[in-house]
Amino acid sequence: MLGKIWSFLGSVRFVIVLLIILAIVSVVGILIPQGLPAQNYVHKLGSFRSSIVLAIGLDHLFSTLWFYSLLGFLSLSVVSCSTTRLWKNFLESGRHHFLKSSADVQSLKFTSSFNARGAAPAVRDVLLKNLRGRLFGCSVQQLANGFQISAKSGRLKDIGSLMFHLSLIVLFVGGLVGKLGGFSVMQELGKGETAPVPGHDFRVRCDWFTVEKNEDGRVKDYKSKLAIVRSDGSTAVDKVIEVNSPLTYGGVRFYQSSYGEEPDRFSQAALKVVGPEFDSLGYDFTAAMDSTVVLAGSGISARAVRFVPDFIIDTETRQVQSRSSKPNNPAVQVLLTRGADTLSNSWAFVRYPDAHMGKGDYRIAFLGYEPQFYTGIQIKEDPGLTFIWIGLFCMTLGIIFLFYVPRTSLWLFVESDDGDSCRVTMGGTSNRHPSAFQEEFDKMCASFGSALKGRT
Amino acid sequence: MGSLNEIQFFWGAFIGYSLASLAYVAYLASEKKKIASFATVVMAVAFVLQTVAMVLRSLHVHHLPLTNMFEYISLFAWFAAVFYFIYLRIYRQQILGAFVCLIIFMLMVSASLLPKQAEEQLMPALQSYWLQIHVSVACLGEAAFAVGFAVSIMYMLKMALSEKSRFAARLPDLQKLDRIGYKAVTVGYPLFTVGALFAGAIWAEQAWGTFWSWDPKEVGSLVVWLIYSAYLHARITKGWSGLRAAVLSSIGFICTLLTFFANLVLGGLHAYG
C-alpha cells in the first residue's frame, strides 16, 4: 500500500497535475494582491467574497500551510521519482548491451565499415583508446573471430537529471532554514549613529551617507559608509555600500535599501538677515544646524536652533509643530544675538518669504536648504544561504547536463579476416539532430580508419 | 549619432517585418515558393535594420538596450528572428516563418506603441552586470518559447483541419511538428530557468536583500516555468504527449507574454517604464 502511494507520488502523471495546480494557484496569487490589510479586501471584494479570500488565506497565499503542503508534495514527488525512475535510468545508462552479430549493425540508423591493419586485439585497443578519448564508456565482448565493443556517451545527462531534480529539494530546504532561522530588519541610521545587530554583539555605524544626483535632479546613486563596531568599541570592518553592493560581516548582510530626509534638521541652510547694520540687500550666509555663524562686520551671531519640514502653529498654545515629515512647509527658527542681547528669535519660511513672525529691526529670510539624509539599511541574516547557493549551482550544472549533453550509443565489431587485418563494422544511434550526428559519425569513422590504417 | 537615426532604423525594421508578414501570409494562400523566399529575404533585411537600431541605441546610452519595455520587446523580436533563421537552416521549413514572422510583427507593433525614449542614466537597482545577464538570457529563452509557440499553433491547426485540407497537407506532419516544437522548448527552458529565475534570484539577493519576494513578475515567471516543466513531463507521458503537450506549450508562451505585459498593470518591483 505504502509502496503504491510512493510510486504514485513519483509518477509523471502526478507531477504534471501538481505542476499545473501550482501554476493555477500562483496565477490566483498574482490576480489577488497579496499582503494588504484585511479591510482592503472587504472594501474591494465585498464582505462575502472577502470572507472567502481571508478564510483560505488567499491574501497571503504563498505563506499558507496549504501552499507549503503543495510544495511538500512536489518535494515528495521529486524524491520518489529520483530514487526510482531517475536512478534506474542512471544505472541503465551505464549498462552495456551487445548486438547478436555484426549483421545487426546494419539495422542501425548510422553505419559504416572499414578495413584495419593489425591483429584484432591491437585494433580493439586502438579503438578503445580513441573512444575513451571521446568520453565514451566502453565494454568489450569476446567473439569467435574478434571482438564487439559497446560504447556509450551521455551518462552526464542522467546525472544532470538527478542533480536538477534533487537540487530543487536543496533550494526548498534553504528557503525553509532561512525562514525559520534567519531574520531581516530595516534600520534607519543618521550620520554617526549606530544600531545593534540582533543576535550579535557587534553594532553597525553609519559614518556618512550621500545621494548623488544628475544635472536634471534625478537620483543617480546613493551610498552609505558603514562600519562594524565590536563590543570593545574597535572597528572590525568598514565599507561603502550601495544598491547591488552590500556589506557582509559575521554571516550578517547589510544592504543599502532606502533613504529619507531627517525631519528635524538640515545639512546646510541658505539664510539672509536684513537689518540696520546691513545694506538694503541684506546679508547672505549659510549655516549648519545648531552652529553659530558670526555675521562679518556687524558683531551679530546667527544660529539655526530649530527646523521643521511641515510648519504648523497651535493658535492657542503658540507651540510650533510639524504636521508631517514631508517638506510641505519647511521652516527654520533663527536666533540672532549680539553679545548677551537677543536681537531676534523668529521663524522663516522657504515657501513664504514675505511672512515673518519676528518683532523689531531684524528680518530673517530662509532661502533654501540641503536636507540631512538618513540611510535605510536592511540587516539580514540567512542561515539558508549556503543551501540556496549550492542548490542554484547544482541546478544550473544539472540543467546544462540534462539539456545539452547528447546521448550516443555505438557498436563496433572487430572481426579478423586473417592474421594481419580486420574488418571493423560500426553503427550507432543518437538523440542529436540526424544531420549533425551524421557529420560527427563520419568524422569519427574517418579518424578511426586513419588511426588504424597507419599501423603495420 | 543622435537617437533620431536609431528610431528611424527601428521603423525601417518595423516596415520590413510588416512586409515580410504580408508576404508570408500570401505564401500561405498561394503555395508559391518564390513568395516565401521573398518574405525570408525581406525579413532578413528587417533583421539587419533592427540590429543597426539596437547597436546605435547601445552606443548612444552606453549600455545594452535592456532597460525598458520598448527595448525588451524589440530584443525579444530580434531573438525570435535569430531562432527562426537557425531553424530555417536546420529544418528548412519556410512555412514556419509565416507563424514566427506574425509573432515578431505583433511584438514590433506592441513595441512601437510604447515610449521609446533612450535612457542613459540607470536607476541604482539596475546598475549591475546582472542586468545584462538576467535580462538578455531570460529574453533569449522567451524567444525560443515564441518559436515553440508558433510550432504548437501549427500542430493544433493540423489537428483541427481535416486531412483533406490542402493547407493542412502543406504543414509538416504531426510527429515532426511535435519534435521541432520540443526542440525549441529544450533550448528555451534552460535559458529561461537560469536567466530569468536563477540570475534574477541572485541579483535580487544583491540588490533587494532577498532571493525571492513573490513579486508579481517573479510569480509570473514561476508560472511560466511550472507550465513548461509540465510540458516537458507531458511529452514523455502516454495520453499527455501530442495535443495536450502542444496546448501546454502555447499556454506557456501566452503566460510569458502576460507576465511581460502585466508590468503595465500590476506594478511591483519589476515595473520599469
**Does residue A25 sit at the B interface (CB-CB below 8 Å)?**
no
**Does residue A66 sit at the B interface (CB-CB below 8 Å)?**
no
Q: β-pairing, A341-349 with A331-338?
A: antiparallel
Sheet-wide strand order for A194-196: A194-196, A203-213, A219-229, A235-242
pLDDT tens for B175-188 read 999 988 999 999 99
Closest CA of chain A from B259, distance in Å? 10
pLDDT tens for B221-249 read 999 999 999 999 998 887 788 889 999 99
pLDDT at B268: 65
HSE-up (13 A, CA, CB side) for residue A415: 14
pLDDT at B252 over 90: yes
Map residue A94 onto helix, strand or coil.
Answer: coil
Residues of B in contact with A392 (CB under 8 A): 198, 201-202
Say if CB B13 and CB B50 are below 8 A apart. Answer: yes
Residues of B in contact with A384 (CB under 8 A): none
DSSP string of chain B?
A: --HHHHHHHHHHHHHHHHHHHHHHHHHHHH--HHHHHHHHHHHHHHHHHHHHHHHHHHHHHTS-S-SSHHHHHHHHHHHHHHHHHHHHHHH--HHHHHHHHHHHHHHHHHHHHS------SPPGGG-STHHHHHHHHHHHHHHHHHHHHHHHHHHHHHHHS-TT-HHHHHSPPHHHHHHHHHHHHHHHHHHHIIIIIIHHHHHHHHHHS-S----HHHHHHHHHHHHHHHHHHHHTSTTTTTHHHHHHHHHHHHHHHHHHHTHHHH-STT---
**What's phi and psi for B165, nearest 5 deg?**
-55, 130
Q: Do A245 and B237 touch (CB under 8 A)?
A: no
pLDDT at A327: 85
pLDDT at B163 over 50: yes
pLDDT at B208 over 50: yes
Closest in A29, A34, A244 to B128, CB measured: A244
Say if CB A283 and CB A295 are below 8 A apart. Answer: yes
Map residue A154 onto helix, strand or coil.
Answer: coil
Map residue A164 onto helix, strand or coil.
Answer: helix
**Does residue A280 sit at the B interface (CB-CB below 8 Å)?**
no
Integer Cα distance of B200 and B270 in angstroms: 11
Q: What is the mean pLDDT of chain B?
A: 89
Q: Where does the pLDDT of residue B3 fall: very low under 50, low under 70, confident under 90, or very high at 90 and above?
A: very low
Residues of B in contact with A20 (CB under 8 A): 226-227, 230
The angle, 0 to 180 degrees and rounded to 10, between the axes of the packed helices A385-404 and B199-208 is: 160
Neighbours of A107 (CB within 10 A): 9
Closest CA of chain B from A203, distance in Å? 19
Integer Cα distance of A138 and A440 in angstroms: 18
pLDDT at B21: 94
pLDDT at B22 over 50: yes
Integer Cα distance of A440 and A347 in angstroms: 86
What ipTM, to 2 d.p.? 0.90
pLDDT at A83: 92
Provide the residue-wise pLDDT of chain A in tens; the chain has 456 residues: 888 999 899 899 999 999 999 999 999 998 888 888 888 888 888 888 888 889 999 999 999 999 999 999 999 999 999 999 999 999 998 899 999 988 899 899 999 998 888 888 999 999 999 999 999 999 999 998 899 999 999 999 999 999 999 999 999 999 999 999 999 999 999 888 899 999 899 999 999 888 888 888 788 888 999 999 999 989 999 999 988 899 999 889 999 988 888 888 888 899 999 888 888 888 899 999 888 999 888 888 999 999 999 999 888 888 888 888 888 899 999 999 988 888 888 899 988 887 766 667 888 889 999 888 889 999 999 999 999 999 999 999 999 999 999 999 999 999 988 768 888 999 999 988 888 899 999 999 999 988 887 544
pLDDT at A456: 40
Chosen for mutation from A85, A403, A432, A435 (greatest number of chain B CBs closer than 10 Å) is A403
**Does residue A218 sit at the B interface (CB-CB below 8 Å)?**
yes
pLDDT at B271: 66
Identify which has the larger pLDDT, A6 or B166. Answer: A6
Contacting residues for A20 by C-beta, under 8 A, at least 6 apart: B226, B227, B230
Closest CA of chain A from B215, distance in Å? 8
